[in-house]
Amino acid sequence: MQQAYIQFEDVKKVYHMGEVEIPALDGVNFSIDKGEFVIIAGASGAGKSTILNILGGMDSLSSGRIFVDGQEISRYTSKELITYRRYDVGFVFQFYNLVQNLTALENVELATQICRDPLDVEQVIQQVGLAQRRDNFPSQLSGGEQQRVAIARALAKNPKLLLCDEPTGALDYNTGKAILKLLQDTCRKNGITVIVITHNLALAPMGDKVIHVKSGKIDSIEINEHPMDVSLIEW
């Protein structure tokens, strides 16, 4: 069978909390093409982060299969997962997680030291709009600027996938919008597959594909033939 670039097949995840079993994912199926800009939407607790963490090799699945670029990552050993996380996956979180005593530039450089084929750091810093702020420490940057550093850090690794878990969750409206625009532009310009989690449904029109998650299951999948530019979306 021909596999998509990313494919989830009947993926289940059960967390065990003492005697209690929490079915975080209950048979999840979807596929994503290379270079797609994908939104994963759903209420808090729906299972969005679990999907992204498993796809990013940060968490294991209980059953099912996951393919990425022809490899079945759900069969990876922990050693193979280290390599996968290091070379193939860029991750952006809600709370930036920058090293506080390194400048913007140094934070990005640090990440490139552990990868195979990094992009030019100066160029990436420029791409995210931080050329003027490259020598500032995180405490001297706004939230939006810190998130740009985090995006640059993830991009500089030249990953196959850019996974973003609520990247605008801690930002105000306009800053959040600018960050989403940067992610959408990056997807288009770099041809990288970008997946963004949000609980904001107003964002749905910007995705090539929108995967709606509800109680650990896929509720629906929308394909937008003409995804909207973020700057045209009001929410």
**Calpha distance 235→233 (Å, rounded):** 7
Per CB under 6 A, contacts with ligand ADP among 42-71 are 42, 44-50
| 13, 204 Cβ separation under 8 angstroms | no
Residue 151: which residues within 8 A CB-CB, separation 6 or more?
92, 128, 162, 167, 179, 182, 183, 186
Pick what 46 binds: Mg ion, ligand ADP, none; C-beta below 5 to 8 Å, kind-dependent: ligand ADP
Q: From the CB of 53, what's the least distance to Mg ion, in Å?
A: 9
* Cα 36–chain centre separation: 12
Which residue's CB is nearer to Mg ion, number 160 or number 199? 199
- Considering only residues 17, 100, 191, 235, which one is a binding residue for ligand ADP as defined by CB under 6 A? 17
**Calpha distance 227→225 (Å, rounded):** 6
| 93, 150 Cβ separation under 8 angstroms | yes
**Calpha distance 200→85 (Å, rounded):** 27
- Considering only residues 10, 21, 22, 220, which one is a binding residue for ligand ADP as defined by CB under 6 A? 22
| 213, 228 Cβ separation under 8 angstroms | no
Q: Does 232 bind ligand ADP (CB under 6 A)?
A: no
Which residue's CB is nearer to ligand ADP, number 46 or number 187? 46
Q: Does 50 bind Mg ion (CB under 5 A)?
A: no
Of residues 193, 198, 192, the one with CA closest to residue 180: 198
Which residue's CB is nearer to ligand ADP, number 46 or number 68? 46
Binding residues for ligand ADP, total number by CB under 6 A: 12
Which residue's CB is nearer to ligand ADP, number 130 or number 162? 162
Q: What letter represents residue 14's amino acid?
A: V
Name the one range near ligand ADP by CB under 6 A: 15-23, 76-84, 96-104, 223-231. Answer: 15-23
Name the one range near Mg ion by CB under 5 A: 41-49, 182-190, 202-210, 220-228. Answer: 41-49
Which residue's CB is nearer to ligand ADP, number 44 or number 139? 44
Q: Does 49 bind Mg ion (CB under 5 A)?
A: yes
